[in-house]
Amino acid sequence: MITLADEAATRRAAALLAQLVRTGDVIALHGDLGAGKTTFARGFIAALAPAEEAVPSPTFTLVQTYPSARGEIWHFDLYRLKRADEAWELGIEEAFAAGISLIEWPERLGSLLPSNRLDVTLAPGVGPESRRLLLAGAGDWRERLAGIEQAWATAARQA
């Protein structure tokens, strides 16, 4: 569990995590409304696609894509999805195969959500802007996440 003091810390944590991604990765962003999922996604995207000046929430478009040196980033917000199979119309199969997928409200995918993924859970912390960040990796994510808490502690001291 990592404690994030504010939105800036959330963006820094996302940027740190972005350095670990590879083409084909799926990152499932969990948390209630207002938990910081979109803030996390913005920090992640800014780290890999710095040419993007604005990273809008895909709440109404359901998906936004961003070019990056590591592959196209697909940012999904599935809050308004009625059925899991609607995700096929958004290009999720292409994203899983050849992109980097950030998925808000991943539970809407049900069994379509790949098992080899990183689950990022954001929850309210003690202060009004603080958050708790929990990372749970399946597949090769376990190995990649080794030492992330230490790296975060070092980065937080330097901020």
In the block, tokens 């309210």 appear at 124
**Four-CA torsion 90, 96, 100, 101, nearest 10 degrees:** 50
Give whole-number Cα distances, 70 to 25, 48, 133, in Å: 11, 8, 24
Q: Global pTM?
A: 0.88
With 0-12 / 13-18 / 19 or more C-beta atoms within 10 angstroms meaning exposed / middle / buried, residue 123 is middle
In angstroms, what is the C-alpha Rg of the chain? 15
Listed residue (128, 86, 117) closest to 17, CA to CA = 117
pLDDT tens digits, residue range 14-60? 999 999 999 999 999 999 988 899 999 999 999 998 776 677 777 77
Beta carbons within 10 angstroms of residue 33's beta carbon: 7
Mean pLDDT by runs of 10 across the 159 residues of the chain is: 90 92 95 91 92 72 90 93 88 91 94 92 90 89 77 68
What does the alpha-carbon distance between residue 109 and residue 107 come to, in Å, rounded to a whole number?
5
For the chain, list the domains and their CATH numbers: 2-138 (3.40.50.300)
